[in-house]
Amino acid sequence: MNFANTNVYNIGNAIRGMRNPKNSWHLSDSEGDVIGPKDMKLAQSLIHGGAVHCKFLRQIFVSVDITAPMYFWSELDTYKVGTTADSTSKMHKLESTPITWDCFEHDDCTDDCLRLHVFDNEPYNMDDHISDVWDNIINVCETLRKRFLETGDKRYWKELIRILPESWLQTRTWTANYEVLRGMYQWRQHHKLTEWNVKNEKSMCSWIESLPYARELILPQMTLKVED
């Protein structure tokens, strides 16, 4: 899993708009996208007040290229409001490059977890490694890809789509806002999928932590409540 080309936009405008309800622009101490202490105090107070008060977070926009397995994308796709994604296409480009081990998510695989101990007893009598199973899957997928290119017979392509594992890596240019990321972090930071879990430095939640002012504006451990 990988995050590239991260860009955060509109912090300064969001902070200015945050002061519109009370016409308190004269109290602002931010410069551009650098948030001053007074503005940060008000921002955290509004965040503490809940979704009704922290609408300014919706105006801080994020764009990033995420390369992740399909099983992660199916989870991320539950966040539809305030997000957009433009993906590479299995439909149009799946057959264009060789299918290899590097096309699939395997960051947290180890020799210990790859041995099929669960199948050691009857009726399986297997003492194989999942890596061997993966070799077979990849060989089948690559053969189907080549047969499609050789013959143009779409039955090979259709079978490849059916067989392709959920760990297939796909890149999407994904956009969201800080309010979406705040809710996402709160509910997913301890998820059993390592692609979400904050303990994994390559995870979605770890990436969220790396964003500007993430600790002050996104992470949920905030108790500050002050009036401005």
Task: Say yes or no: 23 and 52 in one domain.
Answer: yes
Residue that is last in its domain, among 129, 148, 163: 163
Do 158 and 193 belong to one domain? no
Q: Which domain holds residue 132?
A: 107-163
Residues 71 and 177 in one domain: yes
Residue 180: inside a domain, yes or no? yes
Query: How far is residue 158's CA from residue 145's CA, in Å, rounded to a whole number?
Result: 10
Q: Diameter of the chain by CA atoms?
A: 77
pLDDT of 124 reads 47
Residue among 62, 64, 53 nearest 10 (CA): 62
pLDDT value of position 89:
61
In a domain, 141, yes or no: yes
Last residue of a domain, one of 148, 163, 178: 163
Q: At what angle do helices 154-163 and 130-151 cross, to 10 degrees?
A: 160
Confirm whether 94 is domain-assigned. Answer: no
Are 6 and 70 in the same domain?
A: yes
Query: How many domains would you assign to the chain?
Result: 2
Residues near 133 by beta carbon (within 8 Å), at least 6 away in sequence: 116
Q: Is residue 19 domain-resident?
A: yes
What pairing do the DSSP bridges indicate for beta strands 61-69 and 2-9?
A: antiparallel
* Domain-embedded: residue 66: yes
pTM higher than 0.85 for the full model? no
Domain check: are 159 and 182 in the same one? no
Question: Among 163, 185, 205, which residue terminates a domain?
Answer: 163
The rounded Cα 58 to chain-centroid distance in angstroms is 18
pLDDT given for residue 139 in this prediction:
93
Q: Which two tokens stand for residue 197?
A: 């879990």
Q: Domain check: are 136 and 182 in the same one?
A: no
pLDDT tens, per residue, the chain with 228 residues? 999 999 999 999 999 999 999 999 999 999 999 999 999 999 999 999 988 899 999 999 999 999 999 999 999 998 888 899 988 766 656 778 888 888 888 776 655 555 555 445 554 444 456 777 888 999 999 999 999 999 999 999 999 999 999 999 999 999 999 999 999 999 999 999 999 999 999 999 999 999 999 999 999 764 444 444
Same domain for 68 and 18?
yes
Does one domain contain both 158 and 47? no
Q: Is 98 helix (H, G, I), strand (E, B) or coil?
A: coil
223 domain-assigned: no
Based on the domain organization, do 70 and 111 belong to the same domain?
no
pLDDT at 80: 85
pLDDT value at position 125? 42
User: Are residues 126 and 144 part of one domain?
Assistant: yes
Residues 51 and 17 in one domain: yes
Give pLDDT, residue 221. 60
Whether residues 12 and 71 fall in one domain: yes
